[in-house]
Structure 1
């Protein structure tokens, strides 16, 4: 005859496994799945800039955020928030991302039409030529261009 202790232990283990399983399933279901077109836009934006080593006095928070973006892993998009229901990019935090060079008004960045928050502070763009492109971001609620090292 099996001892009652064993039954209690078995039931406890079973309930624990059910609880853990439901947690993982709930977590997987709630993860935002980015739309393929949004991934394509982000990868195009990444390719607009060379991957350079950060040259900043603030290196504790400045790093090349786009360097490890990959179309194969949606979790690789550091600084990007995807809407959990629609899969579109709603937030892009590239503060201190060591971006430098030319950001033009026809940059792929401006194809992220659902973008609400855009942080580009502490980067080094050549000019203000990208400003007309901001008009394409009609859902934009917050824009941070502080501490931009414009050369012109």
Structure 2
């Protein structure tokens, strides 16, 4: 269990949002972009801390959207798949649909330009993970185990 992961992913974000929201509400405009992950869509192997913290951020973004958008504050949720970084280079498992940082940045810029609440990429990967959530858990677990080999 890596405690720093939940401190950075969740607690750090909550503290930042807690400071930012009152300012944005006072000025009646602005935007917040939170970085979730496709790992927050459902349980995945080797994501004991990372996955649940990202799931919490997805929920937080949805809640903030409902609370803040009527008051002039835009909320965006960025849910990337795997992006080639020094951090992901240390992963000891296959990362399907791996994106370059340039591809990820372009997907984010394009999502902002369209005004999308959720910016998830690459679509060929993220849509499959979203669809898996409709399955009964026993089927979901089997498919995830088969796909990951874990």
TM-score by shorter chain over 0.5: no
Indicate the structure whose relative CO is greater, using CA pairs within 8 Å and at least 6 residues apart. Answer: 2
TM-score tier (shorter): under 0.3
User: TM-score, normalized by length of structure 1?
Assistant: 0.25
Which structure features the higher share of helix residues? Answer: 2
Larger radius of gyration: 1
User: TM-score, normalized by length of structure 2?
Assistant: 0.25
